[in-house]
Amino acid sequence: MFYINVNDCIRKGTAMAKTNKTSNVGADRSKTGSSATDRLNPDARSRKEQPPGAASIADPASEAIRDAQTTPRPDKAQLQGQSPQVLNEPKPPFPQQHQGKFGLESEMNPRPQYMAPLYKAAGKLAGKVALITGGDSGIGRAVANLYGKEGADVAIVFLPSELSDAQETKRAVEASGRKCLLIPGDLTDAKFCTEAIERTVRELGKLDILVSNAAYQNRTESLADLTEDEFDTTFKTNIYAYFWLCKAALKYLKPGGAIIATSSETGLEGSKKLPAYSATKGAINAFTKVLAMELAENGIRVNAVAPGPVWTPLNPADQGESPRKVSEFGKDTMFKRPAQPEEIAPAYVFLASDADSSFISGIVLEEMGKTTAG
């Protein structure tokens, strides 16, 4: 596996921008009306003026970040005549791999796709401020990237050991011309959760959107193998943190604000080898519905997103999963592959945008790669 120096790419991209003062700012790529070849060759697209607050994917620094993902898209010949994205994301089997307890996206093969080159920004979150937990990688990184494109400043929470991943997220958001505040710490600490909210407001001026996304999981063969410490860590990371963050955020969120939690298909259907994780995701669903009822009169909407298998560091870092199983991850969906983070993230834009989802609160939006659980 090889690595790209993203800083070098950005510096080169910025230099290109300075020498090309007469070029127009390009619009983000659109899923509708784009050929699969256009996805691979964004420069072939016409450029249009962006709405205020919308980011430009044609910005050289943004393109450099995208190109720094080490998993290439299929070549032009492979893409001819095919639909974009749904048929062109990586499919298992992947290389067998495993990581330590807290994985890094930079060490995954293939690298998760998060730049969403077909996504067309429209200034939906212009002037907003969002806090995203687990924003260093996976779904959180993809959401941070799109929020930046939509005009929001972003704060991301991550573990100190995940700093290198967080810095790539920061570069991606800043390539869209937005601020990205890095907040390292442990979400199993109630005081840290409160401080994360306070620091976001102190340094970015306000809080409009809270995304409780960070999660912890480990598979076990049976309930007898699940220790009390493991059970406690899973609940504190996944549901206690959501509770603590919401309590701290309520004094800052104003009408039009949004809270979004990351749930899971396991919270709807359960998973035999993930009893603690499944239980926390079920708790997230119920807590989301109750909070939505309470905050509706304040004009604050609360929703959850329930993904199915998504290619993120959570998978190779699962200490109960074998490298062989990781290599086959997602093969049982109807698409015969896991989702990529860039495919899940647009739902978080939809639920954060008052213009798009002002009458939606208390739902668990399923993105599971199969028919709905209900």
CB of 191 closer than 8 Å to CB of 241: no
Name the DSSP class of 204.
Answer: H
Question: What residues are annotated to the active site?
Answer: 277
Cα 322 to the chain's mean position, in Å?
25
Query: Cα(253)–Cα(204) distance, rounded to whole angstroms?
Result: 14
What residues have CB less than 8 Å from 229, skipping those under 6 apart? none
Q: Cβ neighbours of residue 251 under 8 Å, at least 6 residues apart?
A: none
Residues in the chain: 374
CB atoms within 10 A of CB 199: 17
C-beta separation of 171 from 93 below 8 A: no
3-class SS at 18?
helix
Q: Which CA distances in Å does 166 have to 5, 9, 109, 161, 195? A: 15, 17, 18, 10, 18
Distance CA 157, CA 169 (A): 11
If you compute the radius of gyration of the chain from its CA atoms, what whole number of angstroms results?
20
φ/ψ bin of 108: left (φ > 0), alpha (ψ from -120 to 50), beta (otherwise): beta
239, 236, 234: which is closest to 262 by C-alpha?
239
Taking CA atoms, 33 is separated from 28, 38, 39, 356, in Å, by: 13, 10, 11, 21
Q: How far apart are CA 246 and CA 240, in angstroms?
A: 10
Peptide bond into 93 cis (omega under 30): yes
